Chain A
Amino acid sequence: MNKIRVSSIQRGCVYDGPGVRTTVFLKGCTLHCPWCCNPENISSEQEYFIDDKKCLKFKGINSALCTSCERNQGGKSILECPFGIARPVSQMMDASDLVFEIEKDKDLYATNGGVTFSGGEPLLQSECLLPVLRDCKELNIGIAFETTLYVAERLLKEVLPYANIMIVDLKLQPEQGNIPNYFNCISRNITLVKAKEIEIFYRLVFVNSMLGVKEKIYHSLKTLGVDKIELLKCHHLGSKKYEKLHLKSEDFTADEGEFQEFSEYLLSQTINVSQLKI
C-alpha cells in the first residue's frame, strides 16, 4: 500500500471544524494561492525547511562538527547537518502509524470532534488514505476534509463513504485568475457531497481585492448554492515558512475595515456570514 505524504499532525486544533480535532496536513496541491499559509504543502515533492538562523557558520561559531559540511567545502550535504538546519517538510507515513497518531486523542473528540485532513489538497491522496479512513470509521472517529473540491470526481468519490464533514475552501479571489473549469468542477463535486449525509461548511479567505468585485462574488456564491459562509481575513503568518523554503512571499494581509465592509455586504445580501477568528 502506498504511503501517505504527511507534512504535520497538529493535535488539539480548534479551528479546523467542529469540536476539538487532530489536523493532518497532507502535502501536494493543484492550486497556488499566492497568500497560501502552508507553502510547504503546495508541491508534492519532498522539500526542506532550511533554517539558516541555526547555521553555526552564519552565527560565526567555529565547530569541529561543521568541518565536513558543504558550506565549509566539505563533502557532507547540509541535509546531514547535526544542528538540524535542514528539516524535511514531510514524511511518508504508513496508514497504521497515522491511525495511531489520530487515535491518541480519541477521548477528546467527543461527539463532534475528530480528524481533519487538510493540506495542500488532501483529496489528491484519497486512495492512500482509504485504510486510514476505514480505521477511523471503525473507531467511530469523525472525519472532516478541508478541501477546495477542485479535484477529479473519482478522488472525491473515494472518500465520500467515510466523510462526515467537508470544509470547502472557495477560490473566488480575483488573484486566482481563471482556474480552468473551476465552477463546473466544484459544482459537480458539491452536488456529489450534498447527495450524501455530509455536513458542508464553506470558507472564503478575504483579500482586499475582493471588495471591488463583491457583487460578482455574491453572484458566484449564489450560483454555487452557498447561503452560509465562514470568512477568514487573510493573514501573513506563514511568512517564516516561505523564508525557510527560500521562496518569495507577498503580504496579502487584509484591511480590517474592508473585511468588515465585505462581510456586511454579504450579510445584507442574506448570506449568513460568520467570521473566523485567528
Chain B
Amino acid sequence: MNIKDIKYAYALHNPFTRPKSKVGKLFGLFDFILNDKIVPVHRQFNSVLSAAMQFDEMASLMHVGEVINGYVYPLDYHVVRCQEERFMPIASVTVDYSKILSGSLALKKNEVKNITDDTFKHSLELCLDGIQTVINEIINNLSKNKDDRSLQLKGYFERMLDKPCASFDEAIQRILFYNGLFWQNKHKQNGIGRLDMILAPYYQAGMADGSLTREKAKEMLYNMSLVLGKDMIFKSAALIGDTGQVIILGGVDKFGNTVENDITHMILEIFTEHPHPDPKLILRVNSQTSDDVWSKAIKCILKGSGSPLLMNENVILPLMKAFGYAKEDVYNFGTSACWEPLIIGKSLDQNNCIKNITILDIIVPILKNGKNDNFSEFLHNIDLEIANRIAEHDLSIEFDKAPILSLFFDDCIQKEKDFSEGGARYNHHGLLIVGLPNLVNSILNIKKYVYEDNVCSLNDCLNCIKNDFANHEDLRTLFKDGALKFGSSDSFVVDLTNHLMEQIGNAVEKRTMFGETIKVGFSSPSYIGLAKDYPASLDGRHKGDPFAVHISPISSDIDISEILDFASRLKYEGNRINGNVVDFVIPSSYAKNPEKLVSILKVTCKKGIYELQLNVLDKKTLIDAKAHPEKYPNLIVRVWGFSAYFNDLPEEYKDNLIKRAELYE
C-alpha cells in the first residue's frame, strides 16, 4: 500500500475530528492505519476500473444496517477509499433520484449489458456488484432484528434488487441508501434534489389508498432530514456545515407547471419548526409561486437557519437555455452545493473546481504599466487587463474517476464513458470571481479622487496598496467612505458593474475546459480564504481583511431596497450564470413584518434578481455568542452557500459576520 496515498486519504478523511498538533496528527495517522479499513488505489489497472474495484472492495468491508431515526444509512466512517492526489475529487453533483426510485438494480444491470467497451462494462458491473453486496449486508443485519420496522426495511432492501419503489417511506429509504453510498465513495457535497417533485407520486398514492397520512409523511421527512444531517461534521468540506446537502423545492416540472404540494409545505414547516444547519433548502421561485409558499419560506428564513436560499428561475431558466442547456432538460436544474446551476442527473459541471479568480489582481499592473492619462484610458486598460488575467488563469485539472456515478448520470452508459471523462450529458465547468464589489469601489475611487478631484495620483494609489495605506490613512478614509459605492442604484455604478461583468464574461468565453464552454459567477466562498494575505485595495480595505461577500454592499448607507434594485439591474447574460447571490442581513424591522418582506422579495424577483440569501443576524447576539459560546449552542448562521452553527465557525468568520451585521444595522 502506498504510504503517500494513505497520508492523503487521512488528510481528506473526516478532517474536523483530526488532532491539530503535529504529534497528534502522527498518532492519528497510526490509529487510522491500524483501525480503519483503507482501500488502496490499484495503479496497475485503468483508473476507472481501479475506482470500481475500490468500491466493490469497500462494499464488502462496510458494516451497515443499523436503523437510526427510522432508516438505514450506509455510511461507514471506518472504510476509506484512497484517492490519487493528482485527481480532484468529484463533488457537488445531484443524481436524479426519480430514476432510481422508478428503477431497480436488475434494470441497471440490463442497461450495462449492452456496453461494448469491456473495461468500462467491467467497471460498472463491479459497482453494481458492490451495491448488491451492501444491500445484502443490510438485509442480513436487519434479519437479525425482530421488530416490525426492521422487517419492513428489509422488504424495502429486497425490492431494491429488482423492483421500483412502491411507497413514500420506501422512496425515502432508497434515496438515503444511494446518497449514503455516494458519500462512502468520497463524492462530497451530494445534492438531494427536488424532493417535493420526486416524492409526490408516492405521497399521492399513499394518501389515495389510505396507507399514509400527512402527519406520518411529515414525520418521515423529518426523520430523513435527521439522517442526512447526522454526519454533518464528517461530511463537511471547508468549514463545519459546508456539506452541500441541498434539498430543492418549488420550480417548474417538465410540463412547465410549478411544483407545489403538501411535501413543499411540509418541508418548509419542518425547517421552521426545527431549525438546523444541515441539510439546507433552496426554493426555486417564479411568478407562479403561491403566496402561501412565499410566506412559509420567509417564516423559515426568519427562524434564522439561513434556509431557504431563493433562486429566481424566471431569470435563471432562460439564461441557462441561452447558454446551451437543452430546453427539455433545463426545467430540472439544481445547484452545485451552494448556488451554481447545473442539471440534475445530467451534469458533471464542476462549478467550483478551479481556484477562484481574485479580480482585484488587475489593478496593480495597470497602475504600474498603463498609460492612464484620463479615466476612459484607465477604463480601457481595465478591460485589457481583465482579458489578460483570465487568459492566464490555470484551468488544468484532472478529476477523480466515478464509475458508480456513471451508472446513474445520463448519458454515461450510452457514450460508454466515465462520468469524470465526459460521459455526462453536460460538462460545463465553472469559474468564480471573488472581490467584484472591491474592484468596483476601487475604480469609483480612482475616478473621483484621481481624475475628478485631483486629490491623489495613481502613484499614490500604488503606494497605498504596497504599503497597506501606511502614511495614507487619509486616503484610506476617503476611499472607504467618499465616492459612490457598489450596490448603489446610481446609473454610473450599475453601468460600470455591468461593463466589468461583461468584460469578465467575454474573457471567460475565450477559455474552455476539456473542449467545453465554461461559466462564470460572481459569488465566491473564498472571500475570507483568498483575502488572508492579499494586499490592501483601493476601496479602503486593509491587507488581509476579507473581500466583499458576493453581490452585497460594503457600505452601510446602501439598504436592502437599493441593493435589490441594483442586483436586478445587473446583466447575467451569456456565460455569467454560475451563481450570482445577493447576500444580505435582514434588519429586524422586517423580521417583525414577514408579510411585508414577502411583498418586497416578490417584486424583486419580478424585477430580475438572480439569487438571494438572507441572514437574520443581530450584532449584539453575535458578539455575546462569540464571548459566551456555551449560551448559544443552537445559534445558526448562513455562511456562504451553507448554514452552520455559529460556534463551529473559525474566529475570522465570526468576526466577519459581526462586522456585516453591524454594517447592515
Contacts and interface: CB of A to CB of B under 8 A. Distances in A.
A272 to B, nearest CB: 20
B254 interface: no
Residue of A14, A83, A84 with most chain B CB atoms under a 10 A cut-off: A14
Interface string A7-18: 000111011000
B491 to A, nearest CB: 12
A278 B478 CA distance: 33
A11 B559 contact: yes
Interface in B591-614: 592-593, 596-597, 599-600, 603, 606-607
A20 B474 contact: no
Q: Which secondary structure dominates chain A's binding surface? A: loop
A107 interface: yes
B565 interface: yes
Contacts of B600: 12, 20, 108
Given A54-B481, A82-B455, A82-B482, A11 B562 contact: yes
A248 interface: no
Nearest to A107: B603
A20 B596 contact: yes
Contact of B599 (A20, A64, A84, A278): A20
A278 B589 contact: yes
Nearest to B456: A65
A110 interface: yes
A61 B590 CA distance: 39
B474 A56 contact: yes
Contacts of A56: 473-474, 477
Nearest to B477: A83
Contacts of B562: 11
A66 interface: yes
A119 interface: no
A82 B474 CA distance: 10
Nearest to B560: A12
Contact of B607 (A19, A54, A82, A107): A107
Contacts of B590: 14
Interface string B546-569: 000000000000011110010000
B493 to A, nearest CB: 15
B589 A14 contact: yes
B488 to A, nearest CB: 13
Given A12-B560, A84-B482, A104 B565 contact: yes
B455 A65 contact: yes
Interface in A103-134: 104-105, 107-108, 110, 113
B474 A277 contact: no
A83 B481 contact: yes
B473 A277 contact: no
A63 interface: yes
A199 B477 CA distance: 48
A110 B481 contact: no
Given A12-B560, A84-B481, A84-B482, A19 B455 contact: no
Interface string B435-458: 000000000000000000101000
A103 to B, nearest CB: 12
A5 B410 CA distance: 64
**Range, interface on chain A:** 20 to 34
Nearest to B604: A108
A83 B482 contact: yes
Interface in B21-41: none
Contacts of B560: 12
Nearest to B473: A61
A277 B477 CA distance: 36
Interface string A242-269: 0000000000000000000000000000
B589 to A, nearest CB: 5
B603 A108 contact: yes
Contacts of B455: 65, 82
Contacts of A110: 599
Contacts of A11: 559, 561-562
A48 to B, nearest CB: 16
Interface in A69-115: 82-84, 104-105, 107-108, 110, 113
Contact of B474 (A63, A104, A105, A278): A63
Contacts of B597: 14
A110 B593 CA distance: 16
Contacts of A84: 481-482
A69 to B, nearest CB: 12
Residue of A20, A64, A113 with most chain B CB atoms under a 10 A cut-off: A20
A19 B599 contact: yes
A65 B606 CA distance: 46
Nearest to A60: B473
A11 B562 CA distance: 8
A20 B599 CA distance: 7
A14 B474 contact: no
A19 B602 CA distance: 13
A277 B599 contact: no
Contact of A15 (B478, B481, B489, B589): B589
B106 to A, nearest CB: 55
B299 to A, nearest CB: 16
Given A11-B562, A12-B561, A108 B478 contact: no
B445 to A, nearest CB: 12
A61 B559 CA distance: 30
A26 B233 CA distance: 54
A14 B302 CA distance: 16
A84 B555 CA distance: 15
B561 A105 contact: yes
A110 B291 CA distance: 14
Given A12-B560, A66-B474, A108 B599 contact: yes
A110 B595 CA distance: 12
Contacts of A108: 599-600, 603
B444 to A, nearest CB: 15
Interface string B486-499: 00010000000000
Contacts of A278: 589
Nearest to B564: A12
Contacts of B474: 56, 61, 63-66, 83
B482 A19 contact: no
A107 B606 contact: yes
Contacts of B482: 82-84
B596 A54 contact: no
Contacts of A82: 453, 455, 478, 482
Nearest to B472: A63
Contacts of B477: 54, 56, 61, 83
Nearest to A18: B596
A83 B600 CA distance: 34
A26 B478 CA distance: 29
A65 B565 CA distance: 35
Contact of B478 (A64, A83, A107): A83
Give the 10 A-B residue pairs with the shortest CB-CB distance, closest first.
Answer: A63-B474, A11-B561, A12-B561, A14-B593, A14-B596, A108-B603, A107-B603, A61-B473, A277-B592, A20-B596
9 contacts: A14-B592, A56-B473, A56-B477, A65-B455, A65-B474, A66-B474, A84-B481, A104-B565, A278-B589
Interface of A: 10-12, 14-15, 19-20, 54, 56, 59, 61, 63-66, 82-84, 104-105, 107-108, 110, 113, 277-278
Given A12-B561, A65-B455, A84-B482, 10 more contacts: A14-B590, A19-B596, A20-B599, A56-B473, A61-B477, A63-B474, A64-B474, A107-B607, A108-B600, A278-B589
